[in-house]
């Protein structure tokens, strides 16, 4: 019977209720509430100091909250010691034992649980094969690349068959190509095993490409938790709108009829602001939602361009002093050189309006 065939306790439901944690006068978690469905991969995303790592350490039992509860399949695990929680954490720094081989590192937790030698060796070999390291079991950490060491750390975590897998920025120390490969492998394994996973990262691309849902945090609070598509297209707050991807802030005028005039184009407004009154507003518009055309007497002038493969990002200074960024197909960008006078107009897409205190 292989690792994947054996009965495992995966797919646990996780509920976080009212978590608070302070370090002196610094508030790391300020009443965090979150639910993670069985088998879901949830990414905690936010700037440094937003509380995402503290939240993960509370889930793993490495930090005690000042207030709140962590329910795993309905059981509050806050009073439970870290080693008895049926959780496993993969750290950014690998944390492998340098004097143990890859196989022995994977089997270490099993040895602590007094699993028989033959069984733990067999499970370690199967898990190393599962993470693409078959034949590497006799190598020591210094004989492995960074990506291989992180695969060993992942296999070691999976060896204990945890109900909850915690990933603390496990890819940040790797180069870009290895990160891309390993994040695809982690997602494949997570789906294959059906294990509930909470993944901390500051990398938007990682979060949006890997997670079922992304929880955006700021100042110890949850700003929004939603699918990557919803976060990008329907941000709930100003912070999310400008933290996820790139967002232009363009002056416009609302007429109280559910539309707004932006650069001479009337656009529908998304969300409750559609029924807002008339007056000056700020429209939040993505770079790909702007069209640019070279034109004498246009509304702006190109300041700079940046090549991004299939698209080129064009920075334009508008006549009113507003700077905007637009993404255009690279094949159409040859004539859009710095100094060129252009007309900028938004595509016919719903927009979100910014207002004091957040997105309206």
Same domain, 339 and 288: yes
Its domain, for residue 334, covers 246-359
Q: Which of 262, 260, 294 is nearest to 274 (CA)?
A: 260
Judged against a pLDDT cut of 80, whether residue 8 lies above it is answered with no
Cβ neighbour number for residue 234 with a 10 Å cutoff: 17
Residue 171 shares a structural domain with residue 253: no
Confidence of residue 357 (pLDDT cuts 50, 70, 90): very low
| Average confidence (pLDDT) over 78-91 | 91
* One domain for residues 45 and 187: yes
What CA–CA distances, in Å, run from 191 to 12, 38, 195, 212, 352?
A: 14, 11, 7, 11, 34
The predicted-structure confidence for 27-60, as pLDDT tens digits, reads as follows 999 999 999 999 999 999 999 999 999 999 999 9
pLDDT of residue 3: 46
Do 272 and 301 fall within a single domain?
yes
Give the pLDDT score at 6: 47
Distance separating alpha carbons of residues 350 and 348, to the nearest angstrom? 7
CATH number at residue 328: 2.40.50.140
Identify whether residues 226 and 298 lie together within a single domain.
no
| Rounded Cα–Cα distance for residues 107 and 96 (Å) | 12
Q: Does 359 have pLDDT greater than 60?
A: no
Confidence of residue 92 (pLDDT cuts 50, 70, 90): confident
Are residues 169 and 93 located together in one domain of the fold? yes
What does the angle CA 66 – CA 69 – CA 74 come to, to the nearest 5 degrees?
165
Q: How many domains is the chain built from?
A: 2
Q: Does 235 lie in the same domain as 266?
A: no
- Other beta carbons less than 10 A from residue 280's beta carbon: 8
Residues 315 and 302 sit within 8 Å (Cβ to Cβ): yes
Half-sphere exposure (Cβ direction) of 17: Cα atoms closer than 13 Å: 11
Which of 209, 239, 269 delimits the end of a domain?
A: 239
The CATH number that applies at residue 225 is 3.40.50.300
More confident residue, 353 or 340: 340
226: pLDDT strictly greater than 70: yes
**Structure confidence by residue, pLDDT tens digits, 301-345:** 999 999 999 999 999 999 989 999 999 999 988 889 999 999 999
Q: What percent of the chain has pLDDT over 90?
A: 62
Token digits of residue 133 = 């390291």
Among 171-180, 215-224, 283-292, 327-336, the range scoring the smallest mean pLDDT is 171-180
Are 229 and 250 members of one domain?
no
Are 228 and 145 within one domain? yes
Q: What average pLDDT does range 143-164 have in this prediction?
A: 90
Q: What phi and psi, each to the nearest 5 degrees, are found at residue 2?
A: -85, 175
| Region of poorest pLDDT, from 31-40, 112-121, 255-264, 348-357 | 348-357
Residue 28 has phi, psi (to 5 degrees) of: -90, -40
Are 205 and 90 in the same domain?
A: yes
Q: Residue 4: inside a domain, yes or no?
A: no
Over residues 214-238, the mean pLDDT reads: 92
Q: At which residue do the structure tokens 């695990």 appear?
A: 77
Distance CA 151, CA 131 (A): 6
- 253 and 105 both lie in a single domain: no
For residue 4, what pLDDT is reported?
45
Concatenating the DSSP letter of every residue in 277-316 gives -EEEEEEEE-GGGEEEEE-TT-SEEEEEEEEETTEEEEEE
In a domain, 187, yes or no: yes
Q: Which residues are 316's β-sheet partners?
A: 302, 324
pLDDT tens across 262-279, in order?
A: 999 999 987 655 455 688
Confidence at 351, pLDDT banded by 50, 70, 90: confident
Query: What was the pLDDT predicted at 309?
Result: 93
Q: Are residues 231 and 124 in the same domain?
A: yes
């Amino acid at each position: 019977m292989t690792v994947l065939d054996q009965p495992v306790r995966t797919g646990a439901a996780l509920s976080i209720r009212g978590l608070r944690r302070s370090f002196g006068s610094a508030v790391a978690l300020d009443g965090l509430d979150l639910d993670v469905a069985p088998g879901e991969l949830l990414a905690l995303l936010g700037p440094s100091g937003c509380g995402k790592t503290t939240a993960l350490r509370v889930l793993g039992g490495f930090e005690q909250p000042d207030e709140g509860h962590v329910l795993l399949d309905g059981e509050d695990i806050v009073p439970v010691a870290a080693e008895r929680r049926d959780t496993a954490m993969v750290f950014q720094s690998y944390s492998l034992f340098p004097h143990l081989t890859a196989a022995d590192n994977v089997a270490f937790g099993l040895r602590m649980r007094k699993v028989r030698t033959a069984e733990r060796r067999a499970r370690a070999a199967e898990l190393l094969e599962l993470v693409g390291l078959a034949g590497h079991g006799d190598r020591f950490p210094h004989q492995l690349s960074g990506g291989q060491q992180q695969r060993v750390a992942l296999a070691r975590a999976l060896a204990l068959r945890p109900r909850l897998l915690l990933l603390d920025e496990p890819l940040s120390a790797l180069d870009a190509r290895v990160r891309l490969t390993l994040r695809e492998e982690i997602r494949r394994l997570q789906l294959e095993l059906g294990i509930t996973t909470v993944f901390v990262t500051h990398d938007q691309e990682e979060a949006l490409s890997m997670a079922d849902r992304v929880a955006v945090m700021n100042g110890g609070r949850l700003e929004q938790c939603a699918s990557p598509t919803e976060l990008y297209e329907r941000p709930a707050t100003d912070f999310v709108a400008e933290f996820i991807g790139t967002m232009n802030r363009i002056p416009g005028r609302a007429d109280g009829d559910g539309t707004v005039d932006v650069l001479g184009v009337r656009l529908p407004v998304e969300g409750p602001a559609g029924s807002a009154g008339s007056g000056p507003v700020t429209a939040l518009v993505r770079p790909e939602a702007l069209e640019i055309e070279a034109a004498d007497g246009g509304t702006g002038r190109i300041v700079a361009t940046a090549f991004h493969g299939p698209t080129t990002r064009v920075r334009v200074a508008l006549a009113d002093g507003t700077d905007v960024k637009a993404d255009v197909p690279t094949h159409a960008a040859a004539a859009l050189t710095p100094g060129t006078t252009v007309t900028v107009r938004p595509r016919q897409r719903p927009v979100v309006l910014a207002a004091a205190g957040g997105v309206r």
